[in-house]
Every structure is written in structure tokens, then in C-alpha cells.
Amino acid sequence: MAASYLERANSWLTNDFDEQTRGQVKYLIENNLKELEDSFYKSLEFGTGGLRGIMGVGTNRINRYTIGMATQGLVNYIIKTFGGDIQHSVAIAYDCRNNSSYFAGITADVFAANGFTVYKFESLRPTPELSFAIRHYGCVAGVMVTASHNPKEYNGYKAYWNDGAQVTSPHDNNIIKEVLKIDQPSKVKFEDGTGVIKNIGVETDDEYLNAILSLTLLTKEMNSQSSLKIVYSPIHGTGVKLIPEALKRIGFKNIINVPEQDVTDGNFPTVKYPNPEEREALQMAIDKAILTGADIVLATDPDGDRLGVAVKNSAGEIEILNGNQTASLLTYYLLARSKELGIIGAGANNGHYMVKTIVTTDLLKSISESYGVEMMNVLTGFKYIAEVVRNLEGKRKFIGGGEESYGFNAGEFVRDKDAVISCCLLAEAAVWAKMKGMTLTDLLKEIYLKHGFYKEHLISITKKGKDGIEQIQSMMKAFRSSPPQHLAGSTVVLVHDYLNSETIDMVSDLRYKINLPKSDVLQFVSVDNTIVSVRPSGTEPKIKFYFGVKGSLISVSEFEKTEAELNHKIEILSDQMISYQTTGKQ
């Protein structure tokens, strides 16, 4: 292994690389072999979120050369797939991160040098608009330069296909094969060629916003009269470009910003991590909501595809919602309001459906089925939701779908999670609830009364570097060879092994085939329907544990008691899994 990474590092000392890069590599060789190994021991690969990593020199880092070589590999695969006798087009967007504009420029140059027409946004834009632009301009592919909600040291590269969705099998693996063939910068066309770069911007914004307006389920007058107060923060990212404008076009007037976080800055100066899943990232917006008496807080991650939410409850306190709760509210609102309008239900088209991921709360399935709408289950990663939409396009109607990691989408014109659409729909849901004399937390309790009290929790354990990846692989192997026998005292009856594509009935020892693509995910289900899912992250050096428990909510007055019981069970599960992953003992 040592010879392998040193050989790779030495290959970056040739004149194929610029002087600054050669100097940085030489410094690592002479002063920091550990960092050198992490930088060169492998090449970055496409995971569930594409290409993502720490910026710096090396094959395992995001830089001019890894971006250029990935783009050339993507170019070669597109030409191999669609032919090279016509001029293909692609769309490119980028977020607020340091070097995102620079990397987007390199990506555009490589495509143009290879004869492509490039529709490149003239300034930062959210990921969902990139997905929209691909279909709007009839492109064969697209690239979003972003590292989503990762720390400031990261950047990344999401590759999209002609349906506006992130690449799935077999394209993802085939692109990797083409990228691996580009093993030196001399194989990349960085400049010259017959292609052209066309800047796009406000015209595309208008088309995208008009599409969002077509999804509204409340009248503009209803929203205008609601007096709903909304605090919105883009957390220094792309959402500032479109979300306030989208809310205004729907009819919301009381939109309160967080000036310090409206500033576009890849260093994310007001937060530790620009992740709307974390309370710390929402705190400034929550403080603003308390100060102004706002009803709801909406915050989006740097590339505008994930949504964090906090709402005022009936006691006037601000509560943070997790991704499962937000997805549950959006699912309930879309279906209940669609039934009110006659879009679904008696006499309506029965071809409607929704989609969720396997680690997302089963509450969504219960809600959906109660309205006679099928809820499909797919692997973790929004690209698998988009894959279902693509396969059923023109045959059935996609209402919406979501995942626990704060991503949701509605309608078919964007094929990725969309925080712009989600912000608008959640604000509508708040108005709808307010018209019934309820807050969104009241609405959640109503859902729990009808469908059961579902409670979820996520633990992510970070294992950095090469050693960390090996530890995660070892942990997954241990869980697979010796699964837990019980979950918080409840006997495990099913083990879903998505890597081996089989479900194991622990009682009868029978095996059943899982008809989904292979993925390194394990799911343990106990007799009382407690669920624990374990998977390595596809975009970060983490192993993730998803806990799901369920209880019965007899009345709203029993909410706190029932929640405490479920939280206690989750604590037991958490201690059990952490102990198991560190000691190997149940």
C-alpha cells in the first residue's frame, strides 16, 4: 500500500501539474506521510451523493485535476452512451462554497473543449434548479458543484443524468470506470474545442418558480390573509436566491430574514456546520423568531436541497422538527388537501403514488395508505426516489416523496430533493393548520392519534481517513455475521440484508429475496416492530444507526408520557448499538 500511494504522489510531481500543486505534494512527501497517504491512497468515487471530499492536492481530494478528470470521464461515457455525432448539451450550477465557482468553470471548460453546449448558471443557484434546468433545456446530463452540508473544507461534484436525477446504476458504476481510465491530466481536454458556454440565470429562475406555483394547494388570497410570520435563513447558501421570492409569489408577505446569514460565504462564519439538521445551525433563526413572534422557521443547507424546520407550538414555544416529522407533515398535508380539492379520492385518478427510503419513518406509509395512495420503499438516496418517478413517468402520478435526512420533493419537474418546493408547501401546511385553529405541532399530534406515535433517532459515528473506512467495513462485517438477537429486550425476528439482497426470518430461518439494487445496509426488525438500520454513509466518513420505535397515543393529554417512554426505549437501543460496535458484544 505504501508503494501505491507514494507512486501516485510522485506521479503528481511531473509537468502535467502546475507548480503550486507540485510544491504542495513535495511538502507532504517530506513532512506529512500520514496526510500524503490519506490524499493519495485511492481515487474519489461516486457515492450516493456523487463525488465529494476535502479540498487539497491528491487523487483522494477535490482539486482542479480530480474535477477535470472526473468531467472527462463523464464526457467519455456520455459520448459512448449517446453517440458523438451530434453536439450534446449539459447544465452546470454551483453553490456558495469556497472554489465552487472555480470548479464549475473548469467543468464547463472541459465540456466545451469536448464539443458540448454548456448551460452554465451565471451565479450560485440551488441544486433543485439545476435538476429543473437539465430537463428544461433538454440536456443529456448536468453537474452541481457542491458538498451539500459538509464542513467548509469540503467540496464536491454531483453528476446528473438526462432525467434531471443523480446518476444511478448502471450509469454510476460505468462513469467510475471511465473516470478511472483518465489517470493523468494529459488525457483531459481542459481548453479549446468546438463547444460553447451559454450563461443562464433569471429567465430559468422564472420558469422554475412558475413550475413551483403550479403545485400550490392554497389560493394566494388565503396565504395573504393568513398573516403567517416566517423566518427564513439560507445559512450563507444558495437558498437566498429563490426561496424568499418563491414564498412572496405564492402570497406570503411576512417573511423575516436573518441578515448575518443572508451573506454568501463558503466559510460559513455564523455556524460550526452549515447543516440544518443541527440545532446550532438554526439558532440564529430561532432567536429571530422568538424576537419577532414568528410562527415558523425555515432554513436550508448551502445547495438548497435540504430543509430544517422549527415551529411555534400552542404554548408559544419554538420546537425543532426532525426530518421524519417534516416529511410526515408534508405527506399529510399533500394528501389531505388533495382529497379536499378532489385531486385524489372518489372519482379521482387512482394512479397516484408516493415514495420514501427504507430508513425513513413508516408513518409515511400509514398516512399514504389511509388515503388509498401507494407508498413505495427504495434504498437510501434521493436518486432512487427519482428512479421510480422516471420509470413511472406518463403511467402514474407522483405526488411527492421524502427521506429522513431532511429531503422532500413534490411534483415531477425536479428529480431531486427540493428545499424550495418544500419551504413553500410547509408554509402552506402551516396556513392550512392555522385556519383550523392549530399549529403544526398540533397537527403532528393529530397524525399520531390517527396512525400511531412513531419516534425516530439517528446516530452518526465519524471514522476519518483510510483507517476509519476500514473500521466501518469491519463493523458492518461484524453486524452481518452476528446480528443482535434483541432490540431493547424485544426479540429480533427479521434481518433485511440489502447487500446480499435477502431477508432472513430469524424464527423459521427462511430466506426471502429483496428486489432492490444491492446496498451495504442492514435492518433489524423486532417482534414489537422496533427497527434499527445500520449503513455506512455514501458521502461522509461515517457509519449511521437509525432507530425507529412505535407506541399508541391514546389522547393528546398522554403525549408527553408516551414520548418519554419512546425516548427511553431509543436510549436503550442507542446504548446497545454503541456498545456492540465498540466491543462486539450484545
- Helix, strand or coil for residue 53? strand
For residue 501, the one-letter residue type is S
Distance CA 62, CA 482 (A): 37
Give how far Cα 50 sits from Cα of 382, 435, 539, Å.
12, 42, 8
Tell which residue, 459, 533, 536, has the closest CA to residue 495.
533
Residue 374 has phi, psi (to 5 degrees) of -70, 135
Instruction: Return the C-alpha cell found at 586.
Output: 450484545
Distance CA 53, CA 154 (A): 5
Tell which residue, 351, 368, 352, has the closest CA to residue 360.
368
Q: How far apart are the first and last CA of the chain?
A: 34
**Residue 148 known to be catalytic:** yes
| Cβ(321)–Cβ(329) below 8 Å | yes
Tell which residue, 465, 585, 515, 582, has the closest CA to residue 358.
515
Distance CA 572, CA 303 (A): 36
Beta-bridge partner residues of 89: 117
Spell out the residues 6+ positions from residue 583 whose beta carbon is closer than 8 angstroms to its own: none
Distance CA 201, CA 204 (A): 6
Q: What angle do CA 564, 565, 571 make, to 5 degrees?
A: 85
DSSP 62-82: BSHHHHHHHHHHHHHHHHHHH
The DSSP H or E segment spanning 171 is helix 171-181
**Half-sphere exposure for 158 (CA within 13 Å, toward CB):** 29
Q: Catalytic: which of 148, 338, 405, 533?
A: 148
Distance CA 470, CA 464 (A): 10
The DSSP H or E segment spanning 492 is strand 490-497
Tell which residue, 230, 408, 217, has the closest CA to residue 307.
408
Distance CA 448, CA 549 (A): 13
- Helix, strand or coil for residue 360? coil
Residues with a known catalytic role: 148
